[in-house]
Chains A and B, each alone.
Chain A
Amino acid sequence: AQKVTQAQTEISVVEKEDVTLDCVYETRDTTYYLFWYKQPPSGELVFLIRRNSFDEQNEISGRYSWNFQKSTSSFNFTITASQVVDSAVYFCALILTDSWGKFQFGAGTQVVVTP
């Protein structure tokens, strides 16, 4: 069975600091998709990125970047120069390519950015 671990329960930073959120996954399958979502205080999860297991290129989108390392089964997320609006719970998720609809989410990491 697959599993997603987000070991950091809460991270507190001061504005403009960088913050890295860890995501470690377990699966015996070689083909899968990984996701990150943001849940702001309003409650609605917002999709950030999807990455398939064949694509290990790192990705950057504005202040967000993702580091996918198959060798360590990790898909880490970095927010550069954090802002108060980045305060949210962030979830990592996994789905196997041959598994329709059965997403596995991590427990989430609460990020608190103070001015």
Chain B
Amino acid sequence: DVKVTQSSRYLVKRTGEKVFLECVQDMDHENMFWYRQDPGLGLRLIYFSYDVKMKEKGDIPEGYSVSREKKERFSLILESASTNQTSMYLCASSLSGRDEQYFGPGTRLTVT
């Protein structure tokens, strides 16, 4: 069974903290993605990676960075968390950049 796992289901952080969200996939997929999901806005792409150490900005990269040192792991970093980054964060992976994506269960981040 294919699997995308995320390090936490729920996370509470304070404004200004550095936050790491981790995602691991076991499908040997080249492509990995980070989205945020907000009510009424659907899923918005933050960053994606098409290979180790390679990344592309999505629609809303401001305030975020990413790291992909190994094929199976893709990290999302909030350098200095702000309250407007309170959201559900979803990680996904896919074989190619146009194939169906496999999603993790999400991390609900609250920044206070």
- A16 interface residue, CB < 8 Å from B? no
Report whether A103 and B90 are in contact in the complex, using a CB–CB cutoff of 8 Å: no
* A111 CB within 8 Å of chain B: no
Looking at the complex, which one of B33, B43, B98, B102 makes contact with A33 (CB distance below 8 Å)? B98
- 19 cross-chain CB contacts under 8 A: A37-B103, A42-B105, A43-B106, A44-B103, A44-B104, A91-B43, A93-B43, A99-B97, A100-B56, A100-B98, A101-B48, A101-B56, A102-B56, A102-B59, A103-B33, A103-B45, A103-B101, A105-B42, A105-B44
Can you list, as one digit per residue, whether each of B81-92 has a CB less than 8 Å from chain A (1) or not (0)? 000000010101
Is residue B100 contacting chain A, with contact meaning CB distance below 8 A?
A: yes
Q: Which 9 A-B pairs have the closest CB atoms?
A: A100-B97, A101-B97, A45-B103, A105-B43, A47-B100, A107-B42, A105-B42, A101-B48, A43-B106
Q: How many residues of B contact A (CB 8 A)?
A: 27
Contact B50 A101 (CB under 8 A): yes
Given A101-B31, A101-B33, A101-B48, are A47 and B101 neighbors across the interface (CB < 8 Å)?
yes
Give Cα A6 to B44, complex, Å: 15
- Chain A 43-70, CB-CB to B under 8 Å as 1, else 0, gives 1111100100000000000000000000
**Residue B16 interfacial (CB < 8 Å):** no
Are B42 and A108 closer than 8 Å at their CB atoms?
A: yes
